[in-house]
Amino acid sequence: MSLIRDAGKAVRATLVLWLIVGIVYPLAIVVFAQIVPFPANGSLLENPQGKVIGSALIGQPFTSDRYFWSRPSTVSYSTDKAVAATGVSGASNLAPSNPDLIKRIQGDVDKLKTADIQPTADLVYTSGSGLDPHISIEAAKSQMARVASSRQLDDEGLVVLESLIDRNTDGRFLGIFGEPGVNVLKLNLALDRLGK
């Protein structure tokens, strides 16, 4: 008798709480979020022609000499055809003692040295998400020469380039928390806007 009573309470409590925290709460937050559509919808960025070319928070792969390069990504920044339906995120999960890690980084260091880029930690280690939009300021500055020569920028152009890097650097929160990072997509977008 009391088993049925207790079981009934359990089922009713499940359904009541389910409605409140499983349905009403998240949907109410969705409705509220429409007040700030830019972050609510993923911080999507448009190019000057009005086409959506990415998110301010998500990185992209860059291979051309005209652009700054991003961190290595285990999931190619979610550009694989295989994941086109859902998108993906991922990491290498290689332990520091794993010989595969050392082999991979050896290859990456050689590649960077050939392109005359100082191999900093962020450029040889893959990111946690595979979608990291940032590189370190040092990594950006060491790519300036290559980008400038590819876009045929003069000395004045170099100064503009440096100021672009500064303007697209996300600093520490309150100057203390986190690490500063240059948003590669925003930087490259600003470069394109320069028109050269």
User: Of the two residues 163 and 171, which places its CB atom closer to other proteins in the complex?
Assistant: 171
User: Of the two residues 84 and 159, which places its CB atom closer to other proteins in the complex?
Assistant: 84
Chain centroid offset of residue 108 CA: 20
Least distance between other proteins and beta carbon 24 (Å): 10
In the structure, how many helices (H) and strands (E) does the chain have?
8, 5
Segment 22 to 41, residues that bind other proteins, using CB under 8 A: 22-23, 25-27, 29-30, 32-33, 36, 39-41
Least distance between other proteins and beta carbon 153 (Å): 18
Nearest residue to 185 (alpha-carbon basis) of 79, 36, 40, 35: 79
User: How would you classify residue 43: left for phi > 0, otherwise alpha for psi between -120 and 50, otherwise beta?
Assistant: left
d(CA 74, CA 128): 9
Q: Which of 117, 125, 141, 157 binds other proteins (CB under 8 A)?
A: 125
User: Of the two residues 15 and 145, which places its CB atom closer to other proteins in the complex?
Assistant: 15
Q: Which of 10, 115, 145, 159 binds other proteins (CB under 8 A)?
A: 10
Cβ density class 168-177: b for 16+ within 10 Å, e for less: bbbeeeeeee
Question: Binding pattern to other proteins, positions 150-189, x when CB under 8 A?
Answer: --------------------x-xx--xxxx-x---x--xx
Tokens 């990504």 sit on residue: 73
Question: 171: helix, coil or strand?
Answer: coil
Applying CB under 8 A, the span of 1-9, 142-150, 151-159, 160-168 interacting with other proteins comes to 1-9
**Which segments within 86-142 are labelled E, that is strand?**
134-135
Q: Which of 65, 121, 163, 196 binds other proteins (CB under 8 A)?
A: 121
Q: Which of 48, 50, 55, 146 binds other proteins (CB under 8 A)?
A: 55
